[in-house]
């Protein structure tokens, strides 16, 4: 009788221990399977969300050209179907990586998508769409986090290989790690013409087309340019449907210069600020005289200068500090066609050129929007090839869940 009882006790104990062990083992397998299902769902969600963003223009459809906050988020160019994005909607996305810039005279912070010296894109936070607004409009607030990266496929780099007359510039055109052999390269060369102190500089422009060699490299010699001249060089390279943009400037005055700040999308108005006013450098400095022009890419891949009326603020002077004169000037871009605002300037007999894209594709600026995916447990990504005003871009969406369940088994 006692042996039977012990047998029962041992067997029940072993049975319960075994059951608990197996429940744990099966549970682990099920948990892992559930996690994989969630990962799969996250990947599907990323793909769907990317299409949602890229294939709808948002509401109102022309929100990129206005100052209003959209009630629906989408980046498609309303004038097209398929994967074509609005260069102006992209301009209104608040950059996740550029350091914001504060400008005292307007009292506003600006989203900074500046690429090196002289290539500015500064959009006031009041006009830029921030990440929080976008998640609410996309209906994923507090449930998913994302980062959207839109970067040009074609990279055009320009190097000055000879600064003396004739100026020699080498253009290299590459794709995603592969050179664009035999690419057609259209260029616009703007040389600043010195007019002496207290006057607006003028400029001369020349246009042309050259061809890249088998290594995607093209060399251009430009006569009449000395090592003391300032200039801007803009290049469009294209081959078999792929188009990329590059630019290069040389300046002789790098302290006192013009910084363009977007003021109104709907009115196409840009503020031109004195560099000392933006960076809050030391004592009052000399005024900067400027001369602005607008260059756009035509359908035949050539660059063309679009005349600006004097009434739009083409010529002017900006001063540092709050005296009787205005600390900044307004300029009105003449069109909603994407192009490049080129501003030649002069201060204390030093010269230079700065540029600002009107439509993000005009200077092939890339934009990173959203939170960083670093340190997130599981991130699903998807990519698409898109066109922004004819320029080839690659769009990548990284998406992760915020719903709190563990995503690593």
Q: In the complex, which residues of this chain contact another protein (CB under 8 A)? A: 7-8, 10-12, 14-15, 18, 22, 25-26, 29, 32-33, 36, 39-40, 42-43, 47, 51, 60-62, 78, 82-83, 153-154, 174-182, 239-243, 378, 380-387, 390, 392, 394
Distance of alpha carbon 257 from alpha carbon 275, whole angstroms? 5
Q: Starting at the edge strand that comes first in sequence, how are the strands of the sheet with 202-211 ordered? A: 202-211, 184-193, 231-239, 242-250
Peptide bond just before 166 cis, omega within 30 deg? yes
Q: What is the largest CA-CA distance in the chain?
A: 118
Distance of alpha carbon 173 from alpha carbon 191, whole angstroms? 23
Cβ–Cβ < 8 Å for 212, 175: no
Distances (CA, A) of 37 to 27, 88, 383: 15, 38, 21
DSSP per-residue string spanning 50-73:
HHHHHS---BSTTGGGSSSPPSB-
Q: Which is closer to another protein, CB of 337 or CB of 381?
A: 381
Q: Which is closer to another protein, CB of 193 or CB of 387?
A: 387
Min dist CB 86 to another protein, Å, is 13
Min dist CB 359 to another protein, Å, is 16
Min dist CB 2 to another protein, Å, is 14
Min dist CB 63 to another protein, Å, is 12
Min dist CB 178 to another protein, Å, is 4
DSSP-assigned beta bridge partners for residue 375: none
Tokens standing for 343? 């501003």
Tokens standing for 34? 């559930």
Min dist CB 60 to another protein, Å, is 7
Q: Which is closer to another protein, CB of 84 or CB of 317?
A: 84
Min dist CB 84 to another protein, Å, is 9
Distance of alpha carbon 161 from alpha carbon 170, whole angstroms? 7
Q: Which is closer to another protein, CB of 128 or CB of 391?
A: 391
Q: Is 232 exposed, middle or buried (0-12, 13-18, 19+ CB in 10 A)?
A: buried
Min dist CB 187 to another protein, Å, is 19
Distance of alpha carbon 52 from alpha carbon 59, whole angstroms? 13
With tokens 């449907």, the residue in question is 241
Residue from 313, 395, 330 nearest 361 by CA: 395
Q: Which is closer to another protein, CB of 202 or CB of 394?
A: 394
Q: Which is closer to another protein, CB of 154 or CB of 222?
A: 154
Tokens standing for 137? 């409009």
Q: Which is closer to another protein, CB of 179 or CB of 284?
A: 179
Q: Which is closer to another protein, CB of 178 or CB of 405?
A: 178
Q: Which is closer to another protein, CB of 15 or CB of 117?
A: 15
Tokens standing for 160? 């000055």
Min dist CB 335 to another protein, Å, is 14
Distance of alpha carbon 392 from alpha carbon 386, whole angstroms? 6
Kindly report the number of other CB atoms within 10 A of residue 23's CB atom.
Answer: 10
């Amino acid at each position: 009788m006692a042996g039977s009882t012990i047998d029962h006790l041992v067997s029940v104990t072993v049975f319960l221990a075994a059951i608990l062990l197996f429940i744990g083992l099966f549970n682990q397998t099920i948990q892992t399977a559930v996690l994989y299902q969630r990962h799969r769902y996250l990947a599907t969600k990323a793909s769907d969300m990317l299409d949602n963003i890229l294939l709808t223009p948002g509401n109102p459809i022309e929100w990129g050209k206005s100052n209003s906050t959209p009630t629906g988020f989408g980046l498609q160019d309303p004038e097209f179907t398929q994967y074509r994005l609005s260069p102006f909607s992209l301009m209104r996305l608040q950059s996740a990586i550029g350091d914001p810039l504060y400008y005292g005279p307007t009292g506003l912070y600006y989203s900074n998508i500046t690429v090196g010296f002289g290539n500015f894109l500064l959009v006031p936070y009041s006009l830029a769409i921030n990440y929080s607004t976008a998640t609410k409009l996309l209906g994923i607030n507090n449930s998913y986090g994302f980062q959207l990266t839109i970067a040009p496929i074609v990279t055009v780099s320009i190097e000055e290989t000879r600064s003396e007359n004739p100026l020699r510039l080498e253009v290299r055109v590459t794709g995603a790690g592969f050179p664009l052999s035999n690419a057609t390269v259209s260029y616009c060369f703007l040389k600043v013409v010195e007019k002496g102190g207290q006057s607006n500089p003028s400029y001369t422009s020349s246009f042309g087309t050259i061809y890249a060699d088998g290594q995607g490299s093209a060399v251009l010699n430009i006569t009449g340019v000395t090592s003391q001249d300032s200039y801007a060089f803009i290049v469009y390279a294209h081959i078999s449907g792929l188009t990329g943009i590059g630019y290069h400037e040389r300046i002789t005055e790098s302290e006192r210069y013009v910084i363009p700040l977007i003021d109104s999308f709907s009115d196409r108005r840009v503020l031109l600020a004195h560099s000392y006013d933006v960076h809050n450098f030391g004592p009052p400095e000399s005024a900067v005289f400027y001369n602005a022009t607008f260059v756009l890419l035509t359908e035949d891949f050539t660059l063309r200068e679009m005349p600006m009326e004097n009434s739009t603020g083409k010529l002017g002077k900006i001063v540092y500090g709050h005296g009787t004169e205005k600390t900044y000037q307004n300029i009105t871009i003449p069109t909603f066609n994407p192009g490049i605002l080129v501003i030649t300037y002069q201060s204390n007999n030093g010269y230079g050129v700065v540029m600002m894209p009107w439509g993000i594709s005009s200077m092939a600026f890339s934009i990173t929007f959203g939170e960083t995916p670093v340190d997130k447990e599981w991130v699903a990504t998807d990519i698409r090839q898109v066109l922004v005003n004819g320029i080839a871009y690659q769009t990548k969406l990284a998406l992760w869940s915020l719903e709190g369940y563990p995503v690593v088994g």
